[in-house]
Amino acid sequence: MSVALGSTRPLVVRTTPVDDPGDLFTRLPETAPYAWTRHGEGLVGWGEAVRVAVPPGPRRFDWARDRLSAMFAEALVEDDVVAPGSGPVAFGSFTFDPESPGSVLVVPRTILARRDGRAWLTTVGEQRLGTVTPLRDPGRIRYGDGSLTAPEWEHAVARAVRRIRSGLLEKTVLARDLTATAERPIDVRLLLSRLARRYPECYTFSCSGLVGATPELLVRRTGETVESLVLAGTIPRGTDRADDMARGTALFDSEKDRYEHTCAVESVREALGPLCSELKIPEVPELLVLSNVQHLASPVTGRLSAGASVLDVVAAMHPTAAVGGTPTEAALEVIRELEGMDRAGYAGPVGWIDARGDGEWGIALRCAQIEGVNARLFAGCGIMGDSDPASELAEAQAKLRVMQYALEG
């Protein structure tokens, strides 16, 4: 564990109520911001009091929970708010594959938060508000192929379909990446502002260069209550209202998409069941309509057994069938063989956790890894036995447009 403060002394944390700050993103300095917001509420942070590089391996979530618990237990905390997200908070991003390096937890020096009509400021050590500068446009964007060209990715989808039809597995999820190069260094704050404005129903996030707007809530823990939102089954939006409604009806009636959604729901049921004394899952999904696509969605609520933190739930749920496949191990083997890339943080858990074990974590979808003038964009599709490679490519391209919009405006 590396401590940016330069010592192993306990963290000194102070949380105080503040007046409504307005748009949270306008308070961020440009350098390496952290964020988790939806509908204008949530947390933003900057600076690094502590950065923890989480070692890869099957018990990485347990390792992260134990390290954070020990650090938070030693912290000297004055918390005048006492709400989820007050006091010491760590933002985190975990790689999709447990064997891939790159998972990280960061306790920002400063966090500004707004939730349920309240706002607060948390500082670690000396208060450092940072210098807020105007948002900077990245200029012209040039795109290039990622790990696979479009025809190569379609070929990978066709190979996956053959595996599924042979009975080796029921579903897998194949992702593709796209590279982007800007004229000027990419301002993460600008991406966050554009994403939040265009996709208010999504969770806009930023953690160590991974930036996006995910529609999928993996888990929210508030005390004993746990919530999740299962998304699987997707169709692009229509050209007008009538076309839009027809597409929504087609998605809802699609045997392929409904079965894909059922697989995802059952994977969540199996993961949460052992951790919960109560669990409520709707029998029929609903339609979640976003600005670019429609999803089949099932909200899940439960009551946790005593002592489980939000990272315990993340560990149990990742990877869901919505981003991995069914059965999990067979699907992961297909992903490793056919995608031709390391997903890094794409489709991995991203979010935050506080000292009480509360927190919100999503699946890092509709996102990009930003580094200077470079960005690596990601999108993925659920592949079933009757999937059509050309249709899956069109779906992936529709999902990639989320981050293309964020870059181009």
Question: Does pLDDT of 15 surpass 50?
Answer: yes
Question: Among the options 30, 154, 171, 260, which is catalytic?
Answer: 171
Least confident of 69-73, 200-204, 269-273, 392-396: 269-273
- Residue 380 contacts residue 323 (beta carbons within 8 Å): yes
pLDDT confidence of 178, banded at 50, 70, 90?
Answer: very high
2-133+140-408: CATH topology is Anthranilate synthase (3.60.120)
SS (H, E, C) the chain: CEECCCCCCCCEEEEEECCCCCCHHHHCCCCCCEEEEECCEEEEEECCCEEEECCCCCCHHHHHHHHHHHHHHHCEEEECCCCCCCCCEEEEECCCCCCCCCCEEEECCEEEEEECCEEEEEEECCCCCCCCCCCCCCCCEEEEECCCCHHHHHHHHHHHHHHHHCCCCCEEEEEEEEEEEECCCCCHHHHHHHHHHHCCCCEEEEECCEEEEECCEEEEEECCEEEEEEEEEEEECCCCHHHHHHHHHHHHHCHHHHHHHHHHHHHHHHHHHHHEEEEECCCCCEEEECCCEEEEEEEEEEEECCCCCHHHHHHHHCCCCCCCEECHHHHHHHHHHHCCCCCCCCCCEEEEEECCCCEEEEECCCEEEEECCEEEEEEEEEECCCCCHHHHHHHHHHHHHHHHHHHHC
- Residue 334 contacts residue 170 (beta carbons within 8 Å): no
Q: What value does the mean pLDDT take over residues 107-111?
A: 96
- Tell me: the pLDDT tens digits for 235-266? 988 999 999 999 999 999 999 899 889 988 99
pLDDT confidence of 267, banded at 50, 70, 90?
Answer: confident
Least confident of 1-5, 284-288, 328-332, 376-380: 1-5
Q: What value does the mean pLDDT take over residues 351-363?
A: 97
pLDDT confidence of 4, banded at 50, 70, 90?
Answer: very low
Residue 102: what pLDDT? 97
Pairwise CA distance, residues 357 & 166, whole Å: 43
Residue 330: what pLDDT? 95
Residue 290: what pLDDT? 85
| Domain spans, the chain | 2-133+140-408
Q: What value does the mean pLDDT take over residues 146-174?
A: 97
Percent of the chain scoring above 90 in pLDDT: 86
pLDDT confidence of 128, banded at 50, 70, 90?
Answer: low
Known catalytic membership, residue 171? yes
Residue 308: what pLDDT? 87
Residue 1: what pLDDT? 40
Question: Does pLDDT of 81 surpass 80?
Answer: yes
Q: What value does the mean pLDDT take over residues 222-236?
A: 91
Residue 8: what pLDDT? 65
Residue 129: what pLDDT? 66
pTM of whole model > 0.85? yes
Question: Does pLDDT of 130 surpass 80?
Answer: no
Residue 9: what pLDDT? 83
Question: Among the options 48, 216, 360, 395, which is catalytic?
Answer: 216
Tell me the average pLDDT of the chain: 93
Residue 84: what pLDDT? 97
pLDDT confidence of 3, banded at 50, 70, 90?
Answer: very low
Residue 7: what pLDDT? 45
Residue 293: what pLDDT? 87
- Which residue from 129, 93, 126 is spatially nearest to 111, judged by alpha carbons? 129
- Say which amino acid occupies 373: V
